[in-house]
Amino acid sequence: MKIWIISFTVIVLLVLLYSVIPTLLIRIYNLGITKKVQGENRIVLTFDDGPNPHYTPQLLDLLKRYGVKATFFVVGSKVKRNPKIIKRMHEEGHTIGIHHYDHISSWLMSPFKLRNQLIMTEKAITECTNEKVTFYRPPWGHFNLFTRLISKKYKIIMWSDIFGDWKVETCKTELLDQLRKTTDGGSILLLHDCGETFGADIEAPRYMLENLEIYLKEMTERGRRFITFSEL
């Protein structure tokens, strides 16, 4: 019985050392990650989990209408299915970064698999843009013991503000107020242009877009400048 308890404890500790503890240390002490940018009049809009063939073109239309550039952290397998959307993002001046080939947490991947996820996603993006990929955001903001070593060629971008916009109810009741509170210069805002990932509502991006349009109108009227990471 004691041997079983010891073995179980050792396994739990190893799992924590590989996944949760590195994530906590990196995020608490900002080890090699970016959560804010310099500039009192700058805000960075970022979007995860796309491209989505229905909602991402609508988002691009909205951004174009307000003259706003954004940064997209894309899923490589979706890039392969929607290359025209990625080409449009690139042509319209948006920045495109890596969000794994499949939307899988780094906690669940070996170092070898994580490396392949990054390589495959970079290849998928480069085939559409013919440009080097510089930025990376791991799904859910999860790191493992080897993430920083394996991803050292990229700049890891986190966020200062996240809104729960993957749920329809949040978008309907809270999102606009939450966005309006994010007026600090240098903020990095995280939104989602796809509701197909685990725990998300498929129609959530529809309501996110409605709120985002109101927010963009208000912020541009106040003179706030939205930038991409490529501009920094």
pLDDT, tens only, 157-191:
999 999 999 999 999 999 999 999 987 789 999 99
Structure tokens at 148: 């920083």
Collapsing DSSP to helix, strand or coil, 68 comes out as coil
- Of the residues 48, 49, 165, 193, only one is catalytic, namely 48
The fourth-level CATH superfamily of domain 2-231 is Glycoside hydrolase/deacetylase (3.20.20.370)
Report the alpha-carbon distance of residue 85 to residue 50 in Å, rounded: 10
With tokens 């725990």, the residue in question is 199
Q: Is 192 a catalytic residue?
A: yes
Alpha helices in 82-174, H assignment, sequence order: 83-91, 111-129, 147-150, 168-173
- Of the residues 94, 99, 142, 192, only one is catalytic, namely 192
With tokens 């955001």, the residue in question is 137
* Cα–Cα separations (whole angstroms), residue 210 to 30, 158, 205, 227: 33, 24, 9, 21
Angle at 131 between CA 128 and CA 132, to 5 degrees: 120
Global pTM? Answer: 0.96
Beta strands in 132-210 (DSSP E): 135-136, 155-157, 161-162, 187-192
pLDDT at 40: 73
* Domain layout of the chain by residue ranges: 2-231
Average pLDDT of the residues in 204-228: 94
Q: Is 48 a catalytic residue?
A: yes
